[in-house]
Structure 1
Amino acid sequence: MECSIYKSLKKTDNYLFIKDEDDFSQVPQELLDLLGNLELVMAITLSQERRLAQADPLEVMRALEHEGYYLQLPPKNF
């Protein structure tokens, strides 16, 4: 599954994964407003074997299929 990853320039360590580069049509406008300007970080091919820095690739793929996007939040440091 192809995927484009954007970082929020407003919210530190918030990353938005979408299926198609620059196609934010499935992302709620309220979320886009909250994230502010987004910068493309990379485009990747997701698979079960693909290692991601913080997210489970299966969870990301499910979210992309069902929601149209996946939001990766910063890790919780408690």
Structure 2
Amino acid sequence: MLVYVYKSSKKQQTYLYVLQKDNFEDVPKPLMQTFGTPTFVMILALQKRQKLAQVDIDKLTTELNSNGFYLQLPPPDEDLLKAHKQSQIKNKG
């Protein structure tokens, strides 16, 4: 299965995977408005991969087959203050 990957012009680290190049018919219009103008990034051959860096291939394949697209959102921001406080508690105990 070939997958076409596009990055968002409006949202950093946000990617859209579709089954046909430049075909966004299956993507809801409100999502496309939020996503902005898609910028082509790459073609992936999923059958040659066992894993991707930030995407579960099984979830990606399921979403593509059922919805015709997959939206990859950026990882949540790390709460550095919370992490620091937890490390302080561990160091005291």
TM-score range, shorter chain: over 0.9
Q: Paired residue for 2:43? A: 43
Q: Which structure's CA Rg is the greater one?
A: 2
Higher strand share: 1
| Aligned Cα root-mean-square deviation (Å) | 1.3
Per the normalisation by structure 1, the TM-score is 0.92
Q: Paired residue for 1:10? A: 10
Deviation, structure 1 residue 17 = 0.3
Q: What does 1:1-78 correspond to in 2, within 5 Å?
A: 1-47=1-47, 49-78=49-78
Deviation, structure 1 residue 48 = 7.7
Higher helix share: 2
Per the normalisation by structure 2, the TM-score is 0.78
Structure 1 residue runs of 4 or more that deviate by more than 4 Å after TM superposition: none
Residue segments in structure 2 that go unaligned for 5+ positions in a row:
79-93
Higher RCO (C-alpha 8 Å, min separation 6): 1
Deviation, structure 1 residue 47 = 3.0
Partners of 1:16 and 1:70 within 8 A in 2: yes
